[in-house]
Each structure stands twice: as C-alpha cells, then as structure tokens.
Amino acid sequence: MEFCDDCGSMMKAVDGVWECGSCGFTKPKGDAAQYTVTDSQEATEIIESSEETSLPETDAFCPECGNDRAYWYMQQIRSADESETRFFICTECEYKWREDDN
C-alpha cells in the first residue's frame, strides 16, 4: 500500500507506477524487496499450533477424534457490533474448528 506524497490519499498500482486517484500524482512503483515487515507488524494472521503453546486449554469435544481437551482463542471476524468467534484446536490431533454465537 502506498500513499500520495502530495495529498496523502491511498494510491493505486497502474502499469508499474503508483497513481493517486484524488490529485493525479504518480511515482514509479518500487521493487517488492524494498518493503519490510517490522517487529511491530504481524506477518500473518494464522495461529500455528505446536506441542508448546501459550493458548489456554478448556474442556471441548473434538469432532474429529473425540478428545475432550482443546486450546482456544477468540477473534473478531465479523462486524464490530457482533460477538467474537471462538476457535478451538484439539490437544491431540490439532484439528481446528470454530464456534459462533447464533
């Protein structure tokens, strides 16, 4: 994502250049290698599960293997005025499922 140097609006990539839809300012599109992810930015939204995890555990029935324990976390995936979605990861088979409020 790139922002206009003149007016600050978000620019669009058009044929190898960045073009501002508001004021018409253009500049060459840089190499993808020049963009970096800092420590404060997340490179991914995916939460990987492993043998050692900091996620809390709870009693939850795994629909895949029948285990009765799972790690869990909550994530806002719909509009802000709706409740969060609960995600579970089985402690045995690492099957992942979600539970929505209906």
Residue ranges for the known binding site are 4, 7, 20, 23, 62, 65, 90, 93
State the binding site for Zn(2+).
4, 7, 20, 23, 62, 65, 90, 93
Beta carbons within 10 angstroms of residue 67's beta carbon: 15
> Which residues contact residue 53 at a Cβ distance below 8 angstroms, ignoring those fewer than 6 apart?
71
